[in-house]
Structures are given as structure tokens and as C-alpha cells.
Structure 1
Amino acid sequence: MNGNGNGNGALHGAVVAVAGAGGPAGRATLLRLAEAGAVVVAADADAARLAEAVDAARYAHGGATVTGDTVDLLDLAATREWAERTVKEFGRIDGLVHLVGGWRGSTSFPETDLADWDLLEKLLVKTVQHTSLAFHDGLLRSDRGRYLLISQSGATKPTANNAAYNAGKAAAEAWTLAMADSFRKAGGEAGPGAAAAILVIKALVHDAMRAERPNAKFAGFTDVTELAEAIAGVFDRPASDVNGQRLWLTPHP
């Protein structure tokens, strides 16, 4: 994608849901999808943050359809209802961008607090299970269906002080790759018509972080605008090229 937002690419007219849309990455993604001419359906557990993100995208791209729903993605029934409501309102669903995150770490491996795992398993794994199950069939019916998980390099190379976080991300990746296999099998000899892919980062950085730490290098970090550009770019690539793939936005460890 060249980022000029001419609205003629694969995202023009696409209906894309964004889970965890209220944070900096969510805001950047809503802006980029709206710029590309997509209908954007955003969800977050924090109603105030979500409203700010939706308003910013609408303001930046007048005429863009950007809606916001406060959805409890830890509730499978509520997540399914969100997916069904989206299809009923807009007639289709073409993408789900999964930005729900959370982090807990420890000073060393033996000092890992398993309460951190209890929390991260909900945020990093359950939400992926619920969105993937809720949106699978709709994405399969689309001519450009994409399920995009944002993951972290520690899922591939875990570190001692991030055992719970890395394990959660690894489980989320495995679940997403199982969804990709479902899309592959559904496509048969013609190849997959929909794709589930993983965008891998080391960490995210945005302007407010740079302002707080003007001397920091943020080496290997991905700017939220770069992530949003990469998300948009996946829709331009054939499903067979990206289905079941880890797309690295940071050096492979």
C-alpha cells in the first residue's frame, strides 16, 4: 500500500472489524482503514477510549463509516452477537484485526506469578478463540476475508522473565494457525479464499512514547502507523500468500 488513501485498493468497501481498537495501535488502524475506504467496525472494553478512537477516525476521514461497540470479548456469546450484528447491518464481513493485548512480566523465571498467567490467558488467548470462532464463517464467505493476529517475537523465542506472556502469545499463534488450516481445507484445490495470518512485532512505539522518552532509541520497535500500514497491505496480497504465515515486522530472533 502506498498510503495515499485513494480508496481503490482491496479495502475499498470492505467491512473490517477491529478488536481492541481503543489503544494507540487501534487508533492508527482505524485511521488507516478509513483512509482506504473500508467500513470500520471497532470494539473495545473501554467505552471512553473507543469513542475517542472512533471520533478521531471519523473526523480525519469525513464520510467514512466508522462505528464503535463496547463488547466483552471474554464472553463468546457476546462476541458472536457482535459478529452477527455486523453482518446483519453491513451485509458482509471481510476482516477481523485482533489488537487485544496485555502484558505482565517478572524479574526472573522462578519468580513468575501464575496469577499473571490467569490474566494473560484471558486477554491473549480467550479473546482470540472467541473472535476467531465468531467471525470464521463470515470471513470464509468473503471474497477477501482476513483474520489478522498481532503477535510478539517472544512467542518464537521466549525469555525467562516473560514466561506467561510468551506462552499466551504462542498459544494465540497456534490457534490462529489452526484457523488458517481451516481456511486452507475449505479452499480445496483452488487454494484458500480467506486467510488467517500473524503480524509479528517486538514492541510498538507511538508519538506519545517518543515525547516521554526523547533520548530512547526504541530499537526494533514498530511504529503504530507502520503496523496499520502492514495490516492494510495484507488485504492487497493473495490469500494463498499470507494464509498461515508469520509476517515479521521486526528482525527474526
Structure 2
Amino acid sequence: MTDISSSAEADPADVGRAVAGHTVLIAGATSAAGIAVASALTAAGAHVIAVGSNAARLDALTAQVPDAITRVCDLSSWPAVTALAASLRAETGHHGTSRDGAALGFGPIDGLIHLVGGWRGGGGLAGQSDDDWDFLHRNVVTTLRNTTRAFNADLLASPAGRLAIVSATAVDKPAPGGANYASAKAAAETWTRAVGQGFAKAAATAATDSTAPPSSAAAVIFVVRSLEGLETELAENVVGLWDADAASVNNTRVRLGA
């Protein structure tokens, strides 16, 4: 895993970027960061599928990013996520503008941006409750495991598959009061690196075996101390993932706000 600093120059309205025409699913899209990422991707010409668990918040996202398609899904439920994946593949090759995506097909996705998260902590080590751990594990880890497993084949098959998550500097310097949180984020990073290793293996196989399918997928970890105020920087870095060669960004750890 290579640690680098963000070098993106924000210009989300720059249509014609490499992401144009690709389908990108944002998991946990209704936060300020999710809305910023959805806006930047649609401005760059991508087809965005914004997924969340709250229909009202997805409606609010649509009001700000009308070109995004929204889907309600409990991403902590494996059956729900596999059903979502199946529904998106139902009508390959068609991209619509219906707010709820009904009767529309998107085919395999080209990008998965995982923004499901949350914070629970405080109270020192003794304050790291089981309830808080269950919340963090479900939101940070389980949703990532479910979405990456359901869409891994899509990303491998895409000519430019991309996976990105947002982690925290707490992983590098955990504190007792944030032990649950840092542990969940560390687990998410480990999972993402494993996905990236799978991408690298597929690319290496394709390079030496003419019968193997080509693979140009990459997994990236964005790292923040706090995401507040960095939404635009995150969004532009997400758009920029498609501008870079997969091998140069796969299994990198990009610090934002440095």
C-alpha cells in the first residue's frame, strides 16, 4: 500500500473527463460528501447511481443532483445488495433519468465509491461499548464487504473499474476513546487492500495469458482527519481516478487535506 498526498485541482464541471460514460455507484450517497461526489461525477459525464437507506434523503439528493439515479437499499443486508446488483444489470446498455431508476437497466458498474460510515466513540477504552462496535462494524465494514463482493465481477470486467473508500488518520494513531472507530476503519482498509490485490493479480494474469480477460481495475483508500470541509477535494479526486492508469493508483492510500 503506497501512501501519497492528494494532487487534484478541483474543476468538477470539466466535462470530457475519462469517467464520462461510465456507471458509478455511490454507496451511502446522501451525506454532504456523497452529494459532492455525485455532483462532480455527473458534471464530468458519468452515470451516477446514488444508493442509500433513507428515501427522503435520496429525494433531497435528487433535488441537488437531478441527473443522478437513486436506489433505496439496506447495504448491510447481503440479500438486499445482491438484489440491487441484479436489478441494475437487468437491462444492460440503457441509462435513464427516472428518479427511482424503475424499469431502467445499467449493466455492470464501472465504479464503486463507498461512503457509508459514521462515528461512535469517547469515554476512553472503558467507553468502547458493544453497541457502538456493532454500529461501526455494520456501517463501515459490513456494507463494504457486501457491496464489493456483489460488484467485484463488474469492476474486474470493466475497462476501467474503480473502488474507493474513505478512511481516517485514526488508523495510523488510534486513541483509546476511538478504538472501536479506528479498528473498524482499519478493517475496512485491510478489506480494500485485499480487493486491490485481487485486481493486481487479475491484471498480471491478463498480461501473461492471452486467454485471460483483460483487467484494468484499481482500489484506492482516501484518508482524512475529518471529512468536513474536504467534500470538494474528495469529489475531484474521485473523478480523477479514471484519469489515471489503474496500475498507478491501485492499492494507494491518498491523504486529503494534507
Q: TM-score, normalised by structure 1?
A: 0.86
Equivalences for 1:144-155 in 2 at 5 Å? 144-155=160-171
The residue type equivalent to 1:150 in the other structure is V
Call closer, same or farther: CA 1:108–1:36 in 2, change over 3 Å.
same
Structure 2 residue matching 1:110: 3-state secondary structure? helix
Matched, 1:71 2:89: no
The residue type equivalent to 2:116 in the other structure is V
Residue of structure 1 in register with 2:55 after alignment: 47
Residue of structure 2 in register with 1:212 after alignment: none
Q: Is the 8 A contact 2:160 2:217 kept in 1?
A: yes
Deviations 1:170-200 (A, max 9, x none): 0000001100011111111539510111111
CA distance in 1, matches of 2:168, 2:27: 17
The residue type equivalent to 2:193 in the other structure is L
Compare relative contact order (CA 8 Å, sep 6+) and give the higher one, 1 or 2. Answer: 2
Call closer, same or farther: CA 1:104–1:147 in 2, change over 3 Å.
same
After superposition, the CA RMSD in angstroms is 1.6
Equivalences for 1:111-126 in 2 at 5 Å? 111-126=127-142
Residue of structure 2 in register with 1:183 after alignment: 199
Structure with greater helix share of residues = 1
Residue of structure 2 in register with 1:101 after alignment: 117
CA distance in 1, matches of 2:190, 2:140: 12
CA distance in 2, matches of 1:139, 1:96: 8
Structure 2 residue matching 1:187: 3-state secondary structure? helix
Q: Is the 8 A contact 2:158 2:215 kept in 1?
A: no
Matched, 1:193 2:216: yes
The residue type equivalent to 2:72 in the other structure is T
How far 1:2 sits from its partner (Å)? 5.2
The residue type equivalent to 1:147 in the other structure is L
6-15 or 172-181: which moved more?
6-15
The match for 2:240 among 220, 228, 233 is: 233
CA distance in 1, matches of 2:122, 2:10: 40
- Structure 1, unaligned stretches of length 5 or more? 59-63, 207-222
CA distance in 1, matches of 2:215, 2:107: 22
Equivalences for 1:1-253 in 2 at 5 Å? 3=11, 5-58=13-66, 64=67, 66-88=68-90, 89-188=105-204, 190=207, 193-206=216-229, 223-251=230-258
Q: Percent identity?
A: 38
CA distance in 1, matches of 2:165, 2:40: 17
| Count of residues in correspondence between the two structures | 229
The residue type equivalent to 1:93 in the other structure is I
Call closer, same or farther: CA 1:188–1:70 in 2, change over 3 Å.
same
CA distance in 2, matches of 1:6, 1:26: 19
Call closer, same or farther: CA 1:129–1:4 in 2, change over 3 Å.
closer
Structure 1 residue matching 2:30: 3-state secondary structure? coil
CA distance in 2, matches of 1:37, 1:131: 23
Q: Is the 8 A contact 1:41 1:86 kept in 2?
A: no
CA distance in 2, matches of 1:130, 1:156: 25
